[in-house]
Amino acid sequence: MTPDNHHLEADLLALVRSRGADHARVEPDTDLIDAGLLDSLLLTDLILHIEERYAVAFDASDVSPANFRSVATMAELVRGRSPAAQSA
């Protein structure tokens, strides 16, 4: 089953917001790169979280700023890569 957008964004927001005060006000469309909030540790945690929770496998070409620019962008990537979307 493809994850519901609302729950998917809420889940990813919770992970990003858990990073501390600078991340606490992140919204789905916040540009994490322009805001200086996406570092290599957060990126790694996001990738591992998405792979484990949503059974989405990333390859090297998926790990680009365009795919992790915002929570909304990540949610779109997950929905397009989820096993249910791949079999549709």
CATH number of the structural domain spanning residue 23: 1.10.1200.10
Contacts of 2 (CB under 8 A, 6+ apart): 79, 82, 84, 85
Task: Print the domain residue range for 28.
Answer: 5-87
Domain tally for the chain? 1
Assigned token pair, 76: 């779109």
More confident residue, 4 or 40: 40
The average pLDDT across 75-80 equals: 92
Q: What is the value of pTM for the model shown? A: 0.88
Note the pLDDT of residue 40: 93
Please write the tens of the pLDDT for every residue from 43-73.
999 999 999 999 998 889 888 889 999 999 9
